[in-house]
Chain A
Amino acid sequence: MFQTVTLALLRGCGTMLELFALTLLFSLPLGLLVAFGSMSRWAPFHFLVRWPRLLDQKFFRWLSTFAPVSWLCNVVVWIIRGTPLMLQLIIIFYGPGLWFDHNIWSFSSGRMTACVVAFVINYACYFSVIYRGGIQSVPAGQWEAGEVLGMTKRQIFFKVTLLQMIKRIVPPMSNEIITLVKDTSLARIIAISELVKMGEDFMRSDGITWPLFYTAVFYLVVVGILTLLFNFLERKLSYFR
């Protein structure tokens, strides 16, 4: 029995790690994009400031500073962070089939793909806020010092500010990434055989509870390894403040 359970849980663990890795792979860069988007100051109606009399009206004053990219990114982040990941997962998987009479996820690994898409969108939004915090926490004086020394913007970003951002991002990132490990258990809602589902199946079919505790061990090991990794990274970056 122990062997059967171990093999089943290992398969579940594989599914969990696949979802975890794919989510990170796509959401880390996408989150950076969203972060830049939400900080965009592009205001297409800024030209209105050329007519001072127009700016007396509230609406035009608002329009002249309106930054659509930033606005859109912030709305998306609000919606995604403001609703449960489980709900997003259900809508993304079942929605297309119900709306268009055609299930776009009907191919062989469709369930997993839908799941990755939902997770990537969700986590990119969370990451974007962490990135933005990191970028904005580097004092303007660091940029100015680089500029005054004749450095190019590129040089300042890569040689001066990037490492300071990374240092500030690591602790909140580690929190979010550890949460992701456990959030993968939500995948069962669209019938993906991840770890918890595997453990629970034994409880239902054989009436035993110990596989559930065994499942917990898998999570603890994965999170333990990640914790060690993040501690190492933090120590590596602790030589400066």
Chain B
Amino acid sequence: MSILDVQHIEKHFGATRVLEDISFSLEQGQVLSIIGSSGSGKTTLLRCLNFLERPDAGTIAVRGQTIFDAADMKAQTESQIRANRLHFGLVFQSFNLFPQYTALENVILARQLLAKSQKTGESNEAIVQEGKALLDQMGLSDRMDNYPHQLSGGQQQRVAIARALAMKPDILCFDEPTSALDPELTGEVLKVIRGLARKHTTMIIVTHEMAFARDVADHVIFMDGGVIVEQGAPADVIDNPREERTRQFLSRFSQDN
């Protein structure tokens, strides 16, 4: 059974159709890369999966269980959406760390609040230990007590990745995780994501780093104008694209770089 099954997602902003009939599935432990030019709907798709946007049509199922069905909106209470969100983690392009908390506090805050409000019985000590382990894994063991403004962009993004992992999501989503970084800082973030892929973390990565996508992804989706133009193994989509639009996009890309 697929860990994620997305069927016929549609999204409009007013009269503009942003996503049209988006369907794909993802297996446990696999990495999916979504590529395409700006405005192709990649980011909106990620935001739909994380319920930051509500799709106008379609269904989303995690491990065979439907967690969203646009046809049955009444079932979506605020607290259900919150619970469903925890299936997904999201790493933003602009990090969005909480500035008044240290790196460690950023990582553990949501877990602490969840443990308190839902009485999960998780001890604060265990949460702190886990947070430290995650930051250690990100190579930030000496940065735990720093505030975000004291960290470089690459370090901030690694804290953001640890923060997303702390909620133990089934699927970790990245929205152009290196687009806001200086070129010399993208490497350290991509290295961390590669490490996660090696440990078979299920991930969806929206990226402009074509070489990275080919390298790390098991499956690639090329989007244009709100639709999936082509999907398949990276060797097919990136190296031997069938569709003219994909070829055009990729050739523009190789010129730019």
Question: Which residues of A are interface residues toward B (Cβ below 8 A)?
Answer: 139, 141-142, 144-153, 155, 159-160, 163-164, 239-241
Cβ-based interface call for B211 (8 A): no
CB-based contact A152/B147 at 8 Å: no
CB distance from B197 to the nearest CB of A (A): 21
CB-based contact B100/A164 at 8 Å: yes
Cβ-based interface call for B90 (8 A): yes
CB-based contact B86/A150 at 8 Å: yes
CB-based contact B100/A150 at 8 Å: no
Contact of A148 among B90, B109, B114, B148 (CB under 8 A): B90
Q: How far is the CA of A160 from the CA of B148 in the complex (A)?
A: 14
CB distance from B206 to the nearest CB of A (A): 15
Q: Which residue of B lies closest to A154 (CB)?
A: B117
Q: How far is the CA of A183 from the CA of B51 in the complex (A)?
A: 49
Cβ-based interface call for B167 (8 A): yes
Given known contacts A147-B85, A150-B85, A142 and B96 CB-to-CB distance under 8 angstroms: yes
CB distance from B14 to the nearest CB of A (A): 10
Which residues 119-168 of B sit at the A interface, judged by CB distance below 8 A?
147-149, 163-164, 167
CB-based contact A144/B113 at 8 Å: no
CB-based contact A240/B149 at 8 Å: yes
CB-based contact A144/B82 at 8 Å: no
CB distance from B49 to the nearest CB of A (A): 10
Cβ-based interface call for B59 (8 A): no
CB-based contact B96/A145 at 8 Å: yes
On chain A, the residues within 8 Å of B110 by CB distance are 146, 149-151
Q: Which residue of A lies closest to B89 (CB)?
A: A148
Cβ-based interface call for B40 (8 A): no
On chain B, the residues within 8 Å of A239 by CB distance are 100, 147
Q: How far is the CA of A153 from the CA of B113 in the complex (A)?
A: 12
Contact of B113 among A139, A145, A155 (CB under 8 A): A155
Contact of B50 among A139, A148, A155, A160 (CB under 8 A): A148
Given known contacts A145-B92, A240-B149, A160 and B82 CB-to-CB distance under 8 angstroms: no
CB distance from B248 to the nearest CB of A (A): 32
Q: Apart from A149-B110, A152-B82, A240-B148, list 11 A-B contacts with CB within 8 A.
A: A139-B96, A148-B50, A148-B88, A150-B85, A151-B110, A155-B113, A155-B117, A160-B98, A240-B147, A240-B149, A241-B147
On chain A, the residues within 8 Å of B89 by CB distance are 148
On chain A, the residues within 8 Å of B100 by CB distance are 163-164, 239-240
On chain B, the residues within 8 Å of A241 by CB distance are 99, 147-149
CB-based contact B92/A141 at 8 Å: yes
Cβ-based interface call for B52 (8 A): yes
Cβ-based interface call for B75 (8 A): no
On chain B, the residues within 8 Å of A240 by CB distance are 99-101, 147-149
Q: How far is the CA of A147 from the CA of B149 in the complex (A)?
A: 22
CB-based contact A144/B96 at 8 Å: yes
CB-based contact B99/A164 at 8 Å: yes
CB distance from A100 to the nearest CB of B (A): 49
19 contacts between A and B (CB under 8 A): A141-B92, A141-B94, A144-B92, A144-B96, A145-B92, A147-B52, A148-B52, A149-B110, A149-B164, A150-B85, A150-B110, A151-B82, A152-B117, A153-B78, A155-B117, A159-B113, A240-B148, A241-B147, A241-B149
Cβ-based interface call for B83 (8 A): yes
Q: How far is the CA of A149 from the CA of B203 in the complex (A)?
A: 16
CB distance from A94 to the nearest CB of B (A): 49
Q: How far is the CA of A114 from the CA of B163 in the complex (A)?
A: 54
Q: How far is the CA of A144 from the CA of B46 in the complex (A)?
A: 13
- Chain B 103-120 interface mask (CB, 8 Å, partner A; 1/0): 000000110011001000
CB distance from A19 to the nearest CB of B (A): 35
Which residues 167-220 of B sit at the A interface, judged by CB distance below 8 A?
167
CB-based contact A150/B114 at 8 Å: yes
Q: How far is the CA of A149 from the CA of B88 in the complex (A)?
A: 9
Q: How far is the CA of A239 from the CA of B110 in the complex (A)?
A: 21
On chain A, the residues within 8 Å of B96 by CB distance are 139, 141-142, 144-145
Given known contacts A145-B92, A239-B147, A151 and B113 CB-to-CB distance under 8 angstroms: yes
CB distance from B54 to the nearest CB of A (A): 13
Q: Which residue of A lies closest to B88 (CB)?
A: A148
Q: How far is the CA of A198 from the CA of B207 in the complex (A)?
A: 71
Q: Which of A139, A145, A148, A160 has the most CB of B within 10 A?
A: A148
Q: Which of B85, B94, B97, B100 has the most CB of A within 10 A?
A: B100
CB-based contact A150/B83 at 8 Å: yes
Q: Which residue of B lies closest to A155 (CB)?
A: B113
Q: Which residue of A lies closest to B173 (CB)?
A: A148
Which residues 22-60 of B sit at the A interface, judged by CB distance below 8 A?
50-52
